[in-house]
Structure formats: structure tokens, C-alpha cells
Amino acid sequence: MNMAPGRFLILSAGMGYGHHAVAAELTRRLEAGGGLTTTVDVLDLLPTGIGSGLRSFYRSVICRAPLVYAGLYAAFFRAGAGPRPGSAPLAALAERRLLMLVAQQRPDVIVPVFHLAAQLTGGLRSRGALLVPSAVVVTDFAVHRQWMHPGNDLHLCLTPDVAHQVRRTVGRPAVTSGALVAPRFHTLAPTTADWQQRSDSPDRPPVLISTGAWGVGAHLGQTIRLVASAGYRPVVLCGTNTRLRRDLSRIAHADARGWVDDMPGLMTASRALIDNAAGQTALEAMAAGLPVVSYRPIPGHGREGARRMAEHGLTEYAPDPWALIRALDRLTASGPARELRITTARSLFSGAGVRPLEALVRQG
């Protein structure tokens, strides 16, 4: 593949795991083509204390007060008539540091992979204060309005439908990049057999339950007992939440795990993923050929994204416990239903990738 080198400044955000994972895959692909990349956490560009405070607040409401987050999402992120609050004033606080960084790094393209960063670059570009083109990598299936700013030059989207929505909303170019997932998820992991041998319940098909990097989920104990009662071995991914792992480990048949580095091996040794966020873990599962069922998603972008994934035929959306078990029974068994879901999900990885970013360098 003929790739054009260039300098890329990637603006990520430490809001869990997903945005940094996308930034890492962007880095790998762009540098494989001869490009030079620098990744910066946009929260670090905010005045001292604001970025860390924002991260702590978001984590707190997601983990402890999901209804509060649902209200914030409805007010700040969903479209609506009349003036609506947004994140542009917060993004403006990072403008000085970003412009200083651009002067130092001299990138050819700036690539936001977080919506606050998209507001930051879009605002600067619309006023002519930023002369470097900006291309937003949209990591959500449910594209809320904070992702979209008409000042940005280009949007890279997960699906053609998402790209169409962005073009219609902002009137700027949007392309289908597909999901940006590391190549180790696309091949059979050599450690699959090791994970299979570790099971203390070989007669129970393993089903992963994802709680994200921070260990977030509603009624996880109920979900574990439900899945176990249906004859499966629930393997709960608790991320960095050691307290959650300790609590869930006490439930019969539960295999509660902390942060897992070898996710490709664990995924290829499992039969399905129960997902609650419609984020990077779900995309990695699809790349690994692991069917995904969305159940009790977190509010806001998680719930909307889960529904959009199901509408695209990529996943199942289980609105109640019985629907969850029916979905697991259908998708864990070898046969046409499982193969169709895997094949449909893998269509997510056939987009343009990073080529549109490299094209911006050539245009410059």
C-alpha cells in the first residue's frame, strides 16, 4: 500500500481505555507508512487541575450516579431545539497550550479522537487561529453533537451511516474509516489453548462480561447468577476496579478478573461477550470473531451506541434477562446464527483506515 509520510498530532483522552487504544492503533498504522506521530491527552492541555477534576467527576458519576450522567448527556450531548449547553467553553481553556504545542511540533494534521478535542480544534479552525487541518476520528456509534464542529476539515467514522449523519449535520467531508483495532485481535491468538485449559468448569462455555477499564455496571451480581444458572461460566472483566473483583469473586461460578493484557487470547477462548458500553472492547471482540450481546448498558452514549450497533446487525441488544439468555443460547452454539453475526461484525473493518489522514498531508 502506498502511504504518504507526514507529522500527526493525535489528541486523545484518558477517559477509560478506548480513546487511548484508538490513538495507539492510529500511531501504529501511520508510523508503518513512514509518518511521525505524537499523542497528547487533551485533558493535560487544560489549566492545572481541571483535566484531572473532569476525569474524576466523569468516573464518579458513571460508577456511582448513572442517573446524573444520563441527565448530563441529555442536556449537553443530545440534539435539541433552541440554544443548548456544550463543551466549547471548556475546550477554549485548552487553546493556548494547543497552539503552543502546534508551534513546537509543527504537525501536518491534528487528529482528535475525543469529542472535547474535536470542539477544541473545530473552534480554532473556524476562527482561523489554527492553520493545520484537523481530522476527527469518531469513536462512537451514537454520534452526539459534541463530536461535530463545522470547523474541522474531516471526520473519520465507523460506518457509512454514521458518516452520512455527520456530513448532513456539519456540511463537511466525512468518510468511513471502519473500526481501528490492533491486528492482534484479527488473528487466532497463540494463547487460546492456555486460556481454555485454565478453566475450572470445562463443561460450562465461557461468556465474558465487560465492565470497562473502570469496572462499571448495573446489577452485575444478578447478571452473573443469571448467566451461571443458564449453564455458562461468567468471566467478569473488572478492569482496574479491585473492589469490584473482590466482591464478585464471592459469587458461585463467577470468574472475576482484573486488568487482562492478553485480551485476544481470552476472547478467542470464549463464546460470547456481554457488553455494556458499545466501546472499544466490543469492537475488539468483533475483530476476534466473538459475538457481542449488549445488556444493561451504561446510560448516555453507552445505551445509544448499543442500540445503534444492534440496528446495524453487528450485535444483539437484550432488553431483559430472558432475551439475554436466548441471545447467548443462539450465538454461543456453532451454526448459521453465530457465523452470520461474526461475518456481519467483521464488515466494520473494511473501511478506508488512515488513508484519508495521509491524503490530507498530500493535499497540504
With cell 456481519, the residue in question is 344
pTM of the model: 0.94
How far apart (Å, rounded) are the C-alpha atoms in residues 204 and 220? 19
Q: What is the pLDDT of residue 5?
A: 79
Greatest alpha-carbon pair distance for the chain in Å reads 63
Q: What is the pLDDT of residue 1?
A: 39
Nearest to 113 by CA among 86, 77, 139, 131: 139
Q: What is the pLDDT of residue 364?
A: 65
Q: What is the pLDDT of residue 2?
A: 42
Q: What is the pLDDT of residue 318?
A: 98
Query: For each successive 10 residues of the chain (364 residues), what is the average pLDDT?
Result: 74 95 98 97 97 95 90 83 75 97 97 97 97 97 93 97 95 96 95 84 91 93 97 96 96 94 96 95 97 96 94 96 98 96 95 94 80
Burial of 72 (0-12, 13-18, 19+ CB in 10 A): middle
Q: What is the pLDDT of residue 196?
A: 86
Q: What is the pLDDT of residue 363?
A: 81
Cβ-Cβ contacts under 8 Å for 56 (sequence gap 6 or more): none
